[in-house]
Amino acid sequence: MITIKDIARVAGVSHTTVSRALNGNPLIKKETRDRIEKIAAEMNYIPNYSAKSLVMKKSYTIGLFFSSIDQGTSASFLVDAIKGIHSVLDENYSLTVHGIDGIQHFDAILPQRFDGILVMSQSDADNAFIYHVKKMGIPLVVLNRHLEDPGIMNVVANDREGVKEAIDYAVSQGHSQCAIIEGKAGFKSSTERKQGFMDSLIVHRLPLIPEYFAAGDYGVESGYEAMCSLLALPEPPSIVFCANDDMAIGAMNACYAKGIHIPGQLSLIGFDDILFARYTNPALTTIHKPVADISKLGTTKLIDLMKDPDTAPEQLFVKTALMVRQSVAAV
């Protein structure tokens, strides 16, 4: 392996000069710099990142942490996040992927190992981790879950507003018997979406019927079961909002099984806009959650934070969008 010392020998200068020349330090004369750069290129010099890391106390690594990799994280979520991040991240940073639930010792989460950390957070349980990162002074952006803490950079979708708009739309289509299949208990997103649902009903002076609030856990199966219980009610709803698309697909299956026609007999709205929402039968009307955009914006902010740790933390909201398809009928 070629080192700056090798280049120095060839160029007839000290290794420090080489270092400066290659790092754009203005103390070096232009001709010297050009000559050294040329030699470095010819010799196929590639910097040793371990040595750089040691001396610079930088790792050239960004950590992406999900609440869990195994459980509760949908595939599209993970992929869209990675895509969004890669689209703005400099090539000589590498991105490592972790599940917070898989970490044995927070001790291993150190500034020397991560130049910055993105937490794609889904639950309050992540807070212990988040505050550890903050305490260690590692530049940090929390994505996807709204934090109350104004000291932490935070990028989220306005789930609540998005759901409200969707239910407003449903009401405008003539629906008044609106039910919800809620997300996983303890997840911030669950309460946010439920709030948006209620916001709309309240604005439209529609009653909040306790039987129309069915529990779910974001899993496909839970959507199936929740829908079964809603259909079993003496007076079933005319429309059901599912707190994510996976549950909407489960709910749709329950309708197939019971012979309920969508949207003829029952309308359905999802949340997330996963790839397959477009391809259910009928195509699912859902709220598009811009995971890639969130990740992109979050990464941009993280980079700012890494450049200048004193960048003021912000609470940023990315807009959701209602995707009107075929699962909601006018009554």
Partner DNA sequence: ACAAACATTTTTCACGTGTGCATTTTTATT
Partner DNA sequence: AATAAAAATGCACACGTGAAAAATGTTTGT
By CB under 7 A, name the binding residues for DNA.
1, 3-5, 12-17, 19-20, 22-23, 25-30, 32, 47-48, 51-52, 54-56
Phi-psi region of 273 (alpha: psi -120 to 50; beta: other; left: phi over 0): left
Q: Could you say whether residue 23 binds a copy of itself (CB under 8 A)?
A: no
The binder of 29, among a copy of itself, DNA, none, by C-beta within 5 to 8 A per type, is DNA
Which residue number, 3 or 176, has a Cβ lying nearer to DNA? 3
Nearest Cα to Cα of residue 321 among 277, 280, 282: 277
Alpha carbon 61 to its chain's center = 18
- Segment lying near a copy of itself (by CB under 8 A), choices 59-67, 115-123, 166-174, 210-218: 59-67
The binder of 228, among a copy of itself, DNA, none, by C-beta within 5 to 8 A per type, is none
Burial 5-28 (b: 16+ CB within 10 A, else e): ebbbeebebeeebbbbbbeeeeeb
Structure tokens at 194: 């439920």
Which residue number, 13 or 226, has a Cβ lying nearer to DNA? 13
Handedness of CA 88, 94, 100, 102 (dihedral sign): positive
Report whether 245 contacts 275 (CB < 8 A): no
- Least distance from a copy of itself to the Cβ atom of residue 118, Å: 13
Terminal alpha carbon distance of the chain: 73
The binder of 17, among DNA, a copy of itself, none, by C-beta within 5 to 8 A per type, is DNA
- Least distance from a copy of itself to the Cβ atom of residue 4, Å: 14
Which residue number, 69 or 316, has a Cβ lying nearer to a copy of itself? 69
Count of H helices and E strands in the chain? Answer: 11, 12
Report whether 124 contacts 66 (CB < 8 A): no
What are φ and ψ of residue 157, in 5° steps?
-90, 150
Which residue number, 154 or 299, has a Cβ lying nearer to a copy of itself? 299
Compute how many residues bind a copy of itself; rule: CB under 8 A.
51
- Least distance from DNA to the Cβ atom of residue 61, Å: 17
Q: Which residues bind a copy of itself (CB under 8 A)?
A: 1, 44, 46, 48-51, 53-54, 57, 59, 61, 63, 69-70, 73, 75-76, 78-80, 82-83, 86, 91-92, 94-99, 102-104, 107-108, 110, 112-113, 220, 249-250, 252-253, 256, 275-276, 278-279, 281
